Amino acid sequence: MNTLSKSRELFKERARKALTKKSTYGPDIDLEPYIRKHLESSSLETLNIRDPKIQTRLESVGVDVSETGRSGSYYQVDWKIISYYSRIPGVKVLTLEDALENYWDVIKDYFWKAIPVDRDKYTATVELYGRGGYVILVDDGVKVENPIQTCLLMYTRNILQAPHNIIVLGDNAELHVITGCTFLKEPSGIHLSVSEFYVGKGSKLTFTMIHGWGLQQHIRPRTGVIVEDEGEFISHYIVLSPPGTLQTYPTVKLRGRDSKAYISSVSVGLNTSIMDIGAEIILEGRRSIGEIVSRSLGRDKSTITARSRIVGLGRESKGHIECMGLLLSDSAVIEAVPQLSAQTDDVELTHEASIGRIAEDEIYYLMSKGFTYEEAKSIIVRGFMSIEVKGIPKTLRNMIENVINIVSSKL
């Protein structure tokens, strides 16, 4: 048995013991029906991702099927990989299966290292039953000007989609990845994913994820990030079309000195969706800096829990949390849970959190300027949801603003 086989068997053994381990946060989901359907599936319908209807759907989550201004792409429908490629020398875009078979010596130090395989039943299921996932490897010194895009599309009813993604940046490298996750035909199903990101010394990784789901889907992404000396990680998580349930809590370890992390999220709760969205930054390196910013908008009978945690371990480290919620319904619930933990005497950690409704005096002020009541309400919501989205191209920024405008116009 070679080293890859031995390692996989050890991971699978740990995963099997965790198949009933519930997540710390969020509603529990029975995975057995989805696993059974997954094991019974032998083939999937082949989709033309350039079909106009599919293209429109993908564009709604930031995926450009024309691939203009993209340095590479990865497309996966359910568990079937449609295509993947890189246009940039020094940048590899692979499937997980390809990477394990042909680049094991390269990725063995990054496989299940940022997240434990037995963290919960969802990580365990990805290891035991998952298929697909992308691996992006960036050589030292390579700075990629245009983003690489990845697309994870759910199509088959009651499907289990469970990719394992890995991004590794060498030293002094730079990359922006845009990930769009959505569905066709309103299928019921569950999307699990494991994403491990490794940012080398002096490198910068920007990761923008846009989710467009429906009430028949349950979403459980698991993300771990490790950042080395003077590295920087920027993350934007945008949920403007919520699933039935969602639970996510990425952990970023700023292991290196002078390392940085900025995590932002914008989430809109609609209908009866239940979302538990969090993030954690661990400041291990000296003079490391972390910031978590979240905006939550609650409508209808939705429930949103916004969690944020910063742990200060490194000397002279700094962290800040900004968590804000806006309720637009008497039946919606938003809960903010900011946490700060200082474990050395020269860290600086701060937070601000607020949940409220639209102030009537703000609406009346705008109405005095000639706006209708609904227009005034829409303007206030757009302003609330607009946060600084660092490090993304102007075209994507405009697309996000357009989606926010559409959501706010339907209040």
Q: What is the per-residue pLDDT across 99-135, written as a single tens digit (0 to 9) for each?
A: 999 999 999 999 999 999 999 999 999 999 999 999 9
Which residues on adjacent β-strands are paired with residue 241? 212
Does position 384 have pLDDT exceeding 90, yes or no?
no
Tokens of 70: 């993209």
Does position 390 have pLDDT exceeding 60, yes or no?
no
Q: No. of H helices and E strands in the chain?
A: 9, 21
pLDDT band at 287 (very low <50, low <70, confident <90, very high): very high
Identity of the residue numbered 33: P
- Other Cβ atoms closer than 10 A to 267: 25
Model pLDDT, residue 298 = 93
Model pLDDT, residue 262 = 96
What is the SS3 assignment for 242-310? CCCEEEECCEEEECCCCCEEEEEEEEEECCCCEEEEEEEEEECCCCCEEEEEEEEEECCCCEEEEEEEE
What is the Cα–Cα distance from 241 to 148, expressed in whole angstroms? 23
Residue 211, helix vs strand vs coil: strand
Q: What residues have CB less than 8 Å from 384, skipping those under 6 apart?
A: 295, 297, 324, 326
Mean of pLDDT values over 12-18: 98
What is the Cα–Cα distance from 208 to 84, expressed in whole angstroms? 18
pLDDT band at 38 (very low <50, low <70, confident <90, very high): confident
Token look-up 């009541």 returns: 373
At CA 397, angle to CA 394 and CA 402, rounded to 5?
125
- Compute φ and ψ for 166, nearest 5 degrees: -140, 130
